[in-house]
Each structure stands twice: as C-alpha cells, then as structure tokens.
Amino acid sequence: MQRAAQPRPVADDPILLPLPMTQPPSPPPRARTPRSTGRVTLDDVAQAAGVSPITVSRALRGARSVAPHLVEQVRQAAVALGYVPNLAARSLASSRSQSVAVLVPLLSNQLFVNLLEAAQTVFMQAGYQTLLGVTHYRPEEEQRLLQIHTAQRPAGLLLTGFDHTPATRELIAQSGIPCVHMMELAPGEPELPCVGFSQTDAGRDITRHLLARGRRRIAFAAAQLDPRAMMRAEGYRQVMREAACYDAGLECLDAQPSSMALGGRMFERLMAERPDVDAIFFCNDDLAHGALLAAQRMGVAVPQRVAMAGFNDLEGSDLMLPPLTSVRTPRVEVGQQAAQMLLALIEGEPLEPVQVDLGFEVVVRQST
C-alpha cells in the first residue's frame, strides 16, 4: 500500500494506541509457541473481532479499504484486549520506521536545545519519535552515533553542521536515509538539503556594525572553535582587513566550551593584555553575558570604554546591563523547517527549495 502524499497524519489520528483501563479479560488464551511473549498481538485482536489479522492491521492503521462497521468492531476488540502494536514487527515488515535521529553538538549551549526542542515538537506531532544524539563537536563521535542509529533504521536524519568524517558521508549515502542539515548552508553542494543562514555574513555584519559605531580595535572572542565559530571569525577578519583594522593580536580564541565563566575570564585577559581594545565581538552570548558581569565588577564602562556584541541573542541578552547587542539567529525556525523538510523527504515529496536561508538579524542594544 503506497500511502499517497496527502496532508500528513497528525498525532491523534487513526493509529490506535489504546490504553487498557482495566486488566484485559484474559491474556491470550493459551500459550501458542514456545517463544511467544504472552502479549496481546494483532492475531489475538483478529480472533476477538472475528476477522483476519490483515483486516485488523488495515483497520488500525486507518486504511480506507475497510468497512466502517468492521473498523469499529476491530477498534473495540483492540481496546478491550489492551492491544499495543509492536513497532519492531511493523518496521521489520514494512522496512519503514517511525523514528528520526537528531544529532546536536552539545546540550550546554541553549542554541542547540532550542533547535532540538523545535524539531522534536514537529516530529512528535507528525507521529515520529526522536532519537537523541550528542556529538560533543567531535566528528568521530558523530560517526559512532550514526552507526548505532543507522542500525535502528530511523526514517530520517537531522544533523547539525557539515563537519563529518568521510566515513559518515559514506554511511549516510549508503543507508539511503533522508538527511537534512541544520545551521549552515552549503552553496558548494546545491543538492544537499539544509536550512540555516550564512555564518560568515553574520560575522561580517556584526563587525561592520561595530566599525560603524566608530570602533577600530575590535577584538574577536570565541570559545569551542567549532566550524561555525570559525566562519564567523572569517567574516570578522574580512571586514577588519577591508577596514585596515585587522590585528591578529585582537583574536582571543579558546577551545574550551563556551560558558559565562569563560567569557568573564576572556574579558579580564583582554583588558589586561590589550588595554587599547575598544570593542569585543563574542562568538556566543553566554560569553558576552559573563564579560558584561565581569566588566561591571571591574568597573569598566560598557559601551563607553568597551563596546560588546554577542551572537545568537539568547535568553537574557535583552535584560543584561546594559542590554546586549547581538545577532538574532532563527534557531527555532531552523529546527522546525528542517524537521518539516525531513518529513517531506521521508514521504518522498519533492523539496521545493533544497536549501533554505533563514537569514539573521543584528539586534542593536545599548552595549554598542
């Protein structure tokens, strides 16, 4: 049965996942085979309803080729017995599954939590379960996770970024599982489905904003040093070079994970080593939050003495003292759109724009 590409069934639809309100009358009559689990199966429901198993299967999945009265009959039998379909059997028989794997680098960055939550919501509403993977920004760990997840035959894959090992690319291609990438664009490979925005452009724009504010000794502070941070660095460098302001000594790079505490330390270090700095572009807002607090503690006036800008416009940036200038990135939209694109691919629908650029926005506040 090839389900046509109609509006996708949304969660409370035909698929019956009944809840036994009471003890089912009697577990399957007698032990059938030595290996039977003793659970209520489709066959049990069929017997109870007085139809064949396949009719039960069709009725419960909402196939329209079953007489309404039979559907009702089957449904009642299923509820009465407390039938719960076995998805392993279903996916073995149909070679199709109801789960989707989502891989994010970290959960300690709010950005990825928002991404994950947005995607998870879309998947759940479409009846798909979310398998979570955390790569810790390590391509090898991503590969391992993918090897494990691939064995589960998820219906789709949602990955963050393009930083894969060759083996990972091979694995994805071989598996034939639809895959959508988040947070970056791949202009070089126009057939690769992805939704994000240009990290380099974003880095460029926020740096231009600082220059427009009259700053010249603009530092760039980044943690983690993942590919996307490095793209933002690239944007920063381009603009600084164009303005003849580039100074490698103003780059403050630290491979540790991003955090408020690290931002505070970076700020202290910068002020000590480069007291001439007049602005700082932090690669992520948590760093900037920490720096803002450190500045207050140290009595450094922001933006008078040093202007500060962040990235991602995370929670609280608008509440800081002073409110933080940042780049609003469409993370929730990225998660949603990516999930929807993946669902379309899973259903075999064509992707209208294969790559979606959701853009970004420089949000100017008092810190610059």
Partner DNA sequence: CTGTTAGCGCTTTCAG
Partner DNA sequence: CTGAAAGCGCTAACAG
Footprint of DNA on residues 201-240 (CB under 7 A)? none
CB-CB contact of 255 with 195 (8 Å): no
* Rounded Cα gap, residues 290 and 167, in angstroms: 38
CB-CB contact of 56 with 42 (8 Å): yes
Residue 223: strand pairing partners: 254
Is the Cβ of residue 54 or residue 301 nearer to DNA in the bound state? 54
- Binding of residue 19 to a copy of itself (CB under 8 A): yes
Quote the least distance from Cβ 273 to DNA, whole Å. 58
Site for DNA in 72-91 (CB under 7 A): 83, 85-86, 89-90
| Helix-strand-coil split of the chain, %, nearest 5 | 40, 15, 45
Inter-axis angle of helices 331-346 and 110-125, nearest 10: 40
Is the Cβ of residue 76 or residue 86 nearer to a copy of itself in the bound state? 86
258 binds, among DNA, a copy of itself, none (CB under 5 to 8 A by kind): none
Examine residue 275 and say whether the peptide bond preceding it is cis (omega within 30 degrees of 0). Answer: no
- Binding of residue 58 to DNA (CB under 7 A): yes
Site for a copy of itself in 240-259 (CB under 8 A): 259
* Rounded Cα gap, residues 266 and 102, in angstroms: 32
Quote the least distance from Cβ 343 to DNA, whole Å. 18
- Classified as helix, coil or strand, 232 is helix
CB atoms within 10 A of CB 119: 26
Binding string to a copy of itself for residues 213 to 242, with x set by CB under 8 A, is what? ------------------------------
Element (H, E) at 63: none
Site for a copy of itself in 98-127 (CB under 8 A): 98-99, 107-108, 113-114, 116-117, 120-121, 124, 127
Contacting residues toward DNA, per CB under 7 A: 1, 30, 32-37, 39, 41-43, 51-55, 57-58, 60-61, 64-67, 70, 83, 85-86, 89-90, 92-96
